[in-house]
Structure 1
Amino acid sequence: MTHHTPPLRRGWTTGSCATAATKAAWLVLQGHTPPATVPITLPSGQSVTFALCQCGINNATPFAEVIKDAGDDPDVTHGALIRASVRALPAGTGVLFKAGEGVGTVTRPGLPIPPGEAAINPVPRAMICTALAEANGGTLPDVEVTLSVQNGAKLAERTLNGRLGIVGGLSILGTTGIVVPFSCAAWIDSIHRGIDVAHALGLTHIAGSTGNVSEKAVQKHYNLPETALIEMGDFVGGLLKYVRKVPFARLTIAGGIAKMTKLGQGRLDLHSKRGQADMPALAHLMAQHGASPTLVQTIENCPTVAEAFLYARKAHLPMGTIIAQSALATVQQTLTATPCCVDVQVYDRAGNMVGHAGPPYPRQHLSREF
């Protein structure tokens, strides 16, 4: 008898929960009866509805709260209480974001939000602005949004925030609004199925990406169809080992600076739980490519690859290209004699290509920061 494992249940990012809470709080500020549920629009355009656990006015300040449901993902924020409060601002101010209790503040460079700002990432900020405009007749209101997470500082101790220079609590995250459950077996199986589909369609070029930003960028770069895109996440080894069995004429590996650094250091599982990038090894690699002794020491002492990249860029050292070359060497070694033309692309968080290794490609696609 065949037993079918039920599909893993998807959940919602902290960004989605914060968006729903903010929209509800704004409606209360406008004099509406506190709603029990509120719809929001995800980056994909999909509309989803959130239930509110509390909504009203506290000390003359409208607020709303959502309990995060991460689905079947073992997320540290699953079940966390995410709160938004709003305050009207003078005309022309725009939307200002503040970190309430349990939400961190950025203190280091190299993150998508500059130092001094609340650790609310760009996509959640954009989602919140969209929701506010929806609730305000299509125009963006002037409002201060304060986000809080109950016990956020304690929960943040179980994340990498401290190492990244985010102090005081959690980050409000998300690039799609949806949490895809983290399951090694399930994810690797989905990688294999994606490769099978691409092969069955007769595609000659597929691209494996570590995340949403690099996937969109590599798709645009090569004008690839959706079926050529393999969301490998951290499981680059799962993709490469399967491509040995089901080869393609061309394979592109695309990812962020930190994950491609780990790939270049020989790691085929890029998840943070398997360890961080080896900064002394990265510093040694840069020394081999002409980095000054001062820069080498600086890179070795950096807590993140993103921060090291900023120092390298100031010194006009093409760290992105060097990382791409090292990652390509790992890919080629893993593929061994597989008849496959491979290139590696390294992207920053904004989707700009900052490194490439492999066959020639159009130079106009390069970022000025390359």
Structure 2
Amino acid sequence: MVEGVSIPPRPGYTLPVFACAGAIAALRHLLNPGDRPQSVTLDLLNPPQPADIPIAQLAPLPDGSVLAITHSDPGDNLDLTRHTPIWSVVAWGSGDQPEPIHIDGGEGIGRQIDQEGAPAIYRYAREVMVHNLRPLVPQGQTLRVTIILPQGRALGDRTSNAAFGVVDGLSLLGTSGISAPLSAPGQLDESREILRDKASRYRHLVFCLGENGLDLAVKLGIDRDRRVKTANWLGPMLVEAGQLGLAGVLLLGYHGKLVKLAGGIFHTHHHVADGRQEILAACCAAVGAELPVIQSVLAAKTVEAGLGILRQTDESLSHRVYQHMVDRIDERAAAYVHAHMAQPLTVGTIVFDRKRQVVARSQLAEVLFHQVLVD
């Protein structure tokens, strides 16, 4: 790095891109055993641009299928899938296969509890694979693609996938082929620029940590342009909002992330700090929950599981705990901004569960939600 010059963070690609690249390489070898590509070029679809992906290994298997292996490269991001191998196994389909290209998940691909155990291979992953593979499949033939993540089960245990109903592995998730380095320091500068632009046009904005919040905001009737994606940089972004003179910020996020703010943690990446169950248990104690309930919440594997315990115990208790949580987030966020600058900032909080159902909203959130709609 040149002294005084900031090098922007390097983007990478999402897991579906590597799965697709491996499938292309395997199909090419299936069509022509002499074709052993060291890299392949594919169309990302979103964004509509090409990507060159290295192929680490490729081999025909005894059953007539072909295996290609790629390795994840998420760019300059704190991502636990970095360098993890992705296996793409391709074989000709059977005569009774209903679709031209059948995509399935093998070992390490998570299973969706609420979809009868269907593999956690989502729309973008399927679309990018079908788009790139279909032109290569001979007319009258069908194809079977199986994606395997050998380390997926172990890595999945280190994520919040279970809170979103995905077990036994990782998801082929994402709406884009680009893995933006949301947790890399350079991304904060880009997010600040976006915030400055929107603060010049609006007095009230909505901060969303990720795609789930962005999507729910629109479903709640919030204008798309009012949303700001903060990723894990909530603290610096709130201070920036105060410095820009915003009248108010509405926080909209998954309760398993925003709960950290109630404990004074303003960088929400798990590599920085955690303590989610401990904070939720403290919220239980603050509203007078009985000791066995507090202990059960503290011992829960996820905050989503903790919410389930509270709901099963007493819906009224669950409501009180989460109302305390969002009010506490408001207080801690306002105090955090005030500690860094004299300019006050009004902050309101809405949290939702893994089904994107609103669990609680603070009193200030009610006011700010109206302001965001009419301002």
| TM-score of the aligned structures, taking structure 1 as reference length | 0.75
Q: Is the 8 A contact 1:41 1:130 kept in 2?
A: no
Q: Is the 8 A contact 1:19 1:127 kept in 2?
A: no
Structure 2 unmatched runs, 5+:
370-375
Shift of 1:173: 4.7
| Cα distance between partner residues in 1 of 2:273 and 2:115 | 25
CA gap of 1:224–1:250, structure 2 versus 1, over 3 A, is: farther
| Cα distance between partner residues in 2 of 1:355 and 1:193 | 30
- Structure 1 residues 337-367: Cα deviation after superposition (integer angstroms, max 9, x where no partner): 745443212133454433322243799xxxx
1:347 and 2:332 aligned: no
- Specify the SS of the correspondent of 1:273: coil
Q: Is the 8 A contact 1:52 1:64 kept in 2?
A: no
CA gap of 1:222–1:164, structure 2 versus 1, over 3 A, is: closer
- Structure 1 residues 292-335: Cα deviation after superposition (integer angstroms, max 9, x where no partner): 55433321111211221233334422355443222222122223
- Residue 109 of structure 1 corresponds to none
Shift of 1:233: 1.4
- Residue 91 of structure 1 corresponds to 97
CA gap of 1:27–1:232, structure 2 versus 1, over 3 A, is: same
- Residue 189 of structure 1 corresponds to 189
Q: Is the 8 A contact 1:191 1:238 kept in 2?
A: no
Number of residue pairs aligned between Structure 1 and Structure 2: 346
| Cα distance between partner residues in 1 of 2:354 and 2:29 | 35
- Specify the SS of the correspondent of 1:360: helix
- Residue 217 of structure 2 corresponds to 218
Q: Is the 8 A contact 2:103 2:145 kept in 1?
A: yes
Query: Within 5 A, what are the aligned runs for 1:20-169?
Result: 20-22=21-23, 24-25=25-26, 37-42=40-45, 44=46, 46-53=48-55, 54=57, 57-59=60-62, 60-73=64-77, 75-87=79-91, 88=93, 90-92=96-98, 95=102, 97-100=104-107, 103=108, 117=117, 121=120, 124-134=121-131, 135-136=133-134, 145-149=145-149, 152=151, 156=155, 160-161=158-159
Q: Is the 8 A contact 1:205 1:250 kept in 2?
A: yes
* Largest Rg, 1 or 2: 2
1:205 and 2:210 aligned: no
- Residue 312 of structure 1 corresponds to 310
CA gap of 1:176–1:355, structure 2 versus 1, over 3 A, is: farther
Aligned-residue Cα RMSD (Å) equals 4.1
Q: Is the 8 A contact 2:67 2:90 kept in 1?
A: yes
Shift of 1:239: 1.3
Shift of 1:10: 0.5
Q: Which amino acid aligns with 1:19?
A: C
- Residue 7 of structure 1 corresponds to 8
- Residue 259 of structure 2 corresponds to 261
Q: Is the 8 A contact 2:334 2:346 kept in 1?
A: no
- Structure 1 residues 204-228: Cα deviation after superposition (integer angstroms, max 9, x where no partner): 12222211221232244353343x4
Q: Which amino acid aligns with 2:13?
A: W
Name which of structure 1's ranges 277-286 and 257-266 shifts more when overlaid on structure 2: 277-286
Query: Which residue, 280, 283, 301 being the options, matches 2:281?
Result: 283
Name which of structure 1's ranges 5-14 and 188-197 shifts more when overlaid on structure 2: 188-197
| Cα distance between partner residues in 1 of 2:88 and 2:54 | 11
Q: Is the 8 A contact 1:261 1:277 kept in 2?
A: no
Name which of structure 1's ranges 32-41 and 326-335 shifts more when overlaid on structure 2: 32-41
- Residue 295 of structure 2 corresponds to 297
Query: Within 5 A, what are the aligned runs for 1:230-269?
Result: 230-269=228-267
CA gap of 1:348–1:142, structure 2 versus 1, over 3 A, is: farther
| Cα distance between partner residues in 1 of 2:32 and 2:188 | 49
Structure 1 unmatched runs, 5+:
107-111, 364-370
Q: Which amino acid aligns with 1:99?
A: G
Paired-residue identity, % = 18
| TM-score of the aligned structures, taking structure 2 as reference length | 0.74
| Cα distance between partner residues in 2 of 1:117 and 1:218 | 28
- Residue 326 of structure 1 corresponds to 328
Q: Which amino acid aligns with 1:190?
A: E
Q: Is the 8 A contact 1:95 1:129 kept in 2?
A: no
Q: Is the 8 A contact 2:18 2:71 kept in 1?
A: yes
Name which of structure 1's ranges 89-98 and 228-237 shifts more when overlaid on structure 2: 89-98
Shift of 1:145: 4.2
| Cα distance between partner residues in 1 of 2:173 and 2:350 | 24
Shift of 1:249: 2.2
Q: Between Structure 1 and Structure 2, which shows a larger proportion of helix residues? A: 2
Q: Which amino acid aligns with 1:209?
A: C
CA gap of 1:2–1:34, structure 2 versus 1, over 3 A, is: closer
- Residue 367 of structure 1 corresponds to none
